[in-house]
A and B are shown apart, each in its own frame.
Chain A
Amino acid sequence: MAHSKGLWLRWSWRDLRSRWLQVAAIALIIALGSGTYAGLSGYTQWRRQNYPASYQALNTHDIRVATTKGTTVPEGTLLGSLDQLEHPEWLAGAEERLIVPTQVDASAAGSTILVPGEIVGVDVTGGGPDIDQVHVMRGRAVDEGDITESRVVLDYHFAEHHGLPPTGELTLSGGRTVDYVGLGFTPDYFMVTTEQGSLLAEAGFAVMFAPLQTAQELAERPEQVNELVLTLREGVDLDAATAEVERWMDRVHPGLAAEVTPIDEERLYRLLLDDIDGDQKLFRIFALLILGGAAFAAFNLTGRIVEAQRREIGIGMSLGLSRWRIAVRPLLVGLQIALLGVVLGAGVGLVVGSLLSDLHESFLPLPVWEAPLQPGAFLSGIALGLGLVFAATVYPVWRAVRVDPVDAIATGPRSTRGSGVAPLLRRIPVPGSSIAQFPLRNVLRSPRRTALTAFGIAAAIAVLVAVIGMVDSFLSTIDKGEADILGPTPERVNVTLDFFYPTDAEQVQAISEVEGVAAAEPGLALGGSLVDGSEGDIDVFIQLIDFDNELWTPTPVEGSLETESPSVVISEKAAADLGVEPGDTVTLRHPRREGLVDYSFVESELPVSAIHPNPYRFMLYMDLDDAALMNLEGIVNTVAVEPEPGVSGDEMKRALFGRDGVAAVEPVADVAGTLEDAMEDALGFLDVVRGAVLVLALLIAFNSTSISADERAREHATMLAFGVRPRTVLLTEMGESLIIGVLATLLGIGLGRLIITWLVRVLLPSTMPDITVWIDVAPATYLTAAVMGVVAVSIAPLLTIRRLRRMDIPSALRVVE
């Protein structure tokens, strides 16, 4: 019996050796599938471990209390009243800080870097801050010695993006200069975001971490703060503590409008952590599709190996071997190919993981990033690779051992009788000469084989279309948002004021008088939320602008801007999430001025007057006349400026930079550009998938062609014997590949579209609730799919030209079987 086992194994090795090229190709396909799966899953594990660890390493706050935009309170007001909490013992730490907008000029020789930003003033006494510590990547941190010296730490992301040195000088709004002594970031800036929703916005947003006193002095807000951050003792319930802080604010500081936000509702925190699960779903789908393609390819190969062994199986049957024993040899072949594939897959997984790890460190540096081997991810990749591929070999083997021995040992064309629809398909009349008929005839004569090959290639194309199509859709969504924001005045510049000012204040009026300014429209920008009882509130960025102004107004896709009473214009996404349409009422939670500098949050029932097409859910517009609702009639904190013809955005920035009252100046076109840059950076991982998919499709195509070349050796020899030139033989093969390629491409594109539809309609609403993504696959993507699926697959037979030219025709003709 031991001898018998050894024989089966040796025999299977000979089978593998005789088809080593296809075996190697199929193993590579499995390696790509299982390796990509393992690599992507391992990456997810790293993120799951390193994100919380990074937050913990910098002692990130648990609760943030932020006063209404533009307002401040005297230092110590909040901190000093914490003993009035119901459970002050729940707190592990508390710090006040001041965050103020500014404009930063980091221009170096030859390049203008003039961007909005903010100064984060933190308590540096005793080596602080203790909460939300600054992680210094280069240079040094700021300390008490820097308080009087106007020294800051510059955001690492911004400096890296612009290639700034670790130390240097910056000019801020009002012409003040500061020295930065190092580059770093805090947990709030693990990824740079802006109020307008931009992610990875480091190119156009400069954050500086300064001693609190320095920030107060630079902002001309002496002894003022606008944030309180709290950490809780271990075991304290975050929700209970948040509720208690809210009650404390209402009770102890009734006139102070402030947002109390637990860490798990912080936008960036949520984005980063929720993103892991969303990405993992996406990764799993792509990896499973790749594995699916690999399984089809394995199925194809094993099926053909078994087909080639059909007579031997018949001989075995006639010698009385049981079906199980006959099945051992092809199953061993399948198992060994799968094993080889997953072993190689471990290597591919390491490469994919390493690429992703490097990519992650470049676009999202964290204080803690460890990337150890993830045995779980690799084991599941191996198990999936082995399981899927082995399962794929079982069916053809089972099918082969079920035939009657008399059929199995039949020789020649009789043995390729076919079943199912094959005989019917072969009857389809095909025009043209007999040689011209070959490609279609070959496709039709074995529809199962054709379908399997097409499915394998289609799986790869589906992944490609889904991956690139998703990127296209994101970019198209950004373009749509950009088109909406730019409107008829794409050169427009948004000026953020450093405080609320009366419309007729000197600071506001002066802006319209700046040289190069053609028109200026004041407005209000406030934070708020749309109250949604079922799904939780929707954070919104309320912009109040004069709906009769000539610079820019939202473009309603439904409803109208002409209304009598206060109303809101909301995004399509917000309308869909709230289930409202123009004429319906929504509840807007917004700030309301209670005194000179006191604000409270109130809820107002407002009709929806129109829906705007901007893809960002949080964009909400109101007429400036409705500012009375906030008790801010005649008060503004933004100004939209249209430069005169010929005046560039940069020139406008320079002209407005340093003006009294101006905190930040940003051309509206830069917002969209930032998003696009960010998207391209963040989607780098898709390039890894794209590369894997391209290789996969070519391998499947090559494998399929190579197997066909083996199977059709006799037919090719016959053609050559009749004087048909090798290039004509090759053309018939290419014609067949072309037909399969077209079928596979159409199928792959269809599947890819289905995947994108699923991702956009099912996955994205939960992982990216703030944005509407429209499915918009670029023609170039279809072209890539067509090139890969049709052209690459069609030319794959060229790889067999050498074999064809060197064919031993007499030997091939005399092969019995």
Chain B
Amino acid sequence: MAMIELEGVARRFETGAGRVSALTDVDLRVDTGEFVVVLGPSGSGKTTLLNLIGALDSPTEGVARVAGRDLTQASRSELFEYRRESVSFVFQTFNLFPGLTALENVRFGADVAGVDDAPAVAERVLVDVGLGDRAAHFPAQLSGGEQQRVAIARALATGNEVLLADEPTGELDFQTGVQILELLRADAERGAAVLVVTHNREISRIADRVVELSGGRVVSDGPPPEGRKPVSDLHW
């Protein structure tokens, strides 16, 4: 079942120097339970694509339909509702709330999404990401990898059907990166549509599908050339 559908999507920006096309005529479909990696060099439009799917930005052309909603037609209020109830984010720089503990940060995701029994869900998810013993720690007291795991736990605690990750391992060492990817992969296996944006080609090996962007256009879309590998197969 299609969770994400983009048809002829374009995003142009007006700058002082003129018009810049970040995305041009992008068609994309991501199904439920699919783990998709979007590859491309800097400036290829990866993050813009993620922002459009996450309704942080709007396309200038085309149609974006996610979780049954037409984002291009949705009102501002509906977009906020969509972000609360359908999509969750993991950022390269974690973006945890420094004033909240690990557990409270996770609970934030559950609270915002209106999850029943948010405290218990948050606790469970934090244990799932291996940080049950760090629940009372503040972000400043956690390592980078632990912070990113908290960020993933926050996204998972929402229970939303779409998980968008923007360079989730970019700030992390290999070992920690692998841990993070395992968590993301596991979310897809639970039925979420997971879209990971990265410039690290190695990560594409564990994807169900790899979408490659260049100059704002999709230049390839298909399974990894060598077939999907387990996370344990990765090295960089």
Q: Which residues of chain A come closer than 8 Å to B84, judged between CB atoms?
A: 722-724
Q: B108 to A722, Cβ gap below 8 A?
A: yes
**A816 to B95, Cβ gap below 8 A?**
no
Q: Name the A residues within 8 Å of B108 (CB-CB).
A: 434-435, 722
Contact (Cβ within 8 A) A722 B140: no
List which A700-724 residues lie within 8 A (CB) of chain B.
714-715, 717-724
Of the stretches B26-34, B99-107, B175-183, B187-195, the one at the interface is B99-107
B-side contacts of A437, CB under 8 Å: 100, 104
Question: Could you tell me if B80 and A442 are in contact, using CB atoms closer than 8 angstroms?
Answer: no
Tell me if B85 is interfacial: C-beta within 8 Å of chain A: yes
Which of A413, A417, A418, A724 is the one whose CB lies under 8 Å from B94? A413
Does A80 belong to the interface (CB within 8 Å)? no
In contact, B83 and A714 (Cβ under 8 angstroms): no
Chain A contact residue count (CB 8 A cutoff):
36
The answer to whether B80 touches A444 (Cβ under 8 A) is no
A3 within 8 A of B: no
Chain A residues whose CB sits within 8 angstroms of the CB of B89 once the complex forms: 721-722
B118 near A433 (CB under 8 angstroms)? yes
**Contact (A721, B83) CB under 8 Å given A435-B111, A442-B99, A813-B95:** yes
Tell me if A723 and B81 are in contact (CB < 8 A): yes
Task: Report yes or no: A810 in contact with B97, Cβ–Cβ below 8 A.
Answer: no
In the complex, the answer to whether B98 meets A810 with C-beta atoms within 8 Å is no
Which chain A residues lie closer than 8 Å to B99 at the CB level? 426, 438, 441-442, 444-445
Q: A413-B94, A413-B147 are in contact. Are A721 and B107 (CB under 8 A)?
A: no
Chain A residues, Cβ within 8 Å of B166: 814
Determine whether B70 belongs to the interface, using a CB cutoff of 8 Å to chain A: no
Q: Is the interface of B mostly helix, strand, loop or mixed?
A: helix
User: Does chain A have a CB within 8 A of B168?
Assistant: no
User: Is A413 within 8 A of B51, CB to CB?
Assistant: no
Cβ–Cβ contact A722 & B96, under 8 A: no
CB distance from B80 to the nearest CB of A (A): 5
Q: How far is the CB of A660 from chain B (nearest CB, A)?
A: 85
Once the chains bind, are A414 and B80 in contact (CB under 8 Å)?
Answer: no
Take A413-B140, A434-B107, A444-B99 as given contacts and tell me if A813 and B80 are in contact as well, using a CB distance cutoff of 8 Å. Answer: no
Provide the bound-state CA to CA distance between A442 and B88, in Å.
Answer: 24
Instruction: Determine which residue in A416, A434, A718, A721 has the highest number of CB atoms from chain B within 10 A of its CB, and name it.
Output: A434
Q: Is there contact, CB below 8 Å, between B47 and A445? A: no
- A residues near B20, Cβ cutoff 8 Å: none
Select A435's contact among B47, B80, B112, beta carbons within 8 Å: B112
- Which among B89, B91, B107 has the greatest number of chain A C-beta atoms within 10 A? B91
- Give Cα A60–Cα B47 distance, bound, in whole angstroms: 86
For A434, list chain B residues within 8 Å (CB): 100, 104-105, 107-108, 111
* B84-143 interface with A by 8 A CB criterion: 84-85, 88-89, 91-100, 104-105, 107-109, 111-113, 118, 138-141
Docked-complex contact B83 and A814, CB < 8 angstroms:
no
Interface bits A149-174 vs B (CB < 8 Å: 1, else 0): 00000000000000000000000000
Q: Which residue of B lies closest to A432 (CB)?
A: B111
Query: Shortest beta-carbon distance, A350 to chain B, in Å?
Result: 42
Residues of A within 8 A of B140 (CB): 413-418
Which residues of chain A (399-444) have a CB below 8 Å from chain B? Answer: 411-418, 423, 426, 433-435, 437-438, 441-442, 444
A723's partner among B47, B51, B82 (CB-CB below 8 A) is B82
- For residue A809, CB closer than 8 A to chain B, the reply is yes
A725 at the interface (CB under 8 A from B): yes
Task: Establish whether residues A721 and B54, one from each chain, have CB atoms under 8 Å apart when the complex forms.
Answer: yes
B109 touching A412 by the CB < 8 A rule? no
| Cα(A814)–Cα(B54), bound, Å | 15
Q: Which residues of A contact B57 (CB under 8 A)?
A: 809-810
Contact check, B139 vs A810: say whether CB atoms are below 8 A apart. no
B85 to chain A, nearest CB (A): 7
Which of B88, B92, B144, B147 touches A722 (beta carbons < 8 Å)?
B88
Which one of B96, B97, B100, B108 has the greatest number of beta carbons of chain A within 10 Å? B97
Alpha-carbon distance A652/B99, docked complex (angstroms): 74
Query: Nearest-CB distance from B30 to chain A (Å)?
Result: 19
Instruction: Tell me whether A426 and B112 are in contact (CB under 8 A).
Output: no
Interface residue? B56 (CB, 8 A): yes
By a CB distance below 8 angstroms, the chain B residues around A433 are 107, 111, 118
Least CB distance from B69 to A in Å reads 13
Please tell me if the beta carbons of A715 and B97 are within 8 angstroms of each other in the complex: yes
Contacts of B95 in A (CB 8 A): 714-715, 717-718, 721, 813
How far, in angstroms, from A815 to B93 measured CA to CA in the complex? 8
Query: B83, A718: Cβ atoms under 8 Å?
Result: no
**B92 with A814: CB separation less than 8 A:** yes
**Residue of A with least CB distance to B105:** A434
Chain B residues with Cβ below 8 Å from A416 are 98, 140
B residues adjacent to A (C-beta < 8 A): 47, 51, 54, 56-57, 80-85, 88-89, 91-100, 104-105, 107-109, 111-113, 118, 138-141, 144, 147, 158, 166
Identify the 5 closest CB pairs spanning chains A and B, nearest first: A723-B84, A723-B83, A413-B139, A441-B99, A445-B99
Q: List 21 A-B contacts (CB under 8 A).
A: A412-B93, A412-B139, A413-B96, A413-B140, A417-B141, A434-B105, A435-B112, A441-B99, A442-B99, A444-B99, A714-B95, A715-B98, A718-B95, A720-B83, A721-B54, A722-B84, A723-B82, A809-B57, A810-B57, A814-B91, A814-B166
Give 12 A-B pairs besides A435-B108, A720-B56 with Cβ atoms closer than 8 angstroms: A412-B93, A413-B96, A413-B98, A417-B140, A434-B108, A435-B112, A444-B99, A721-B54, A722-B112, A722-B113, A814-B47, A814-B91
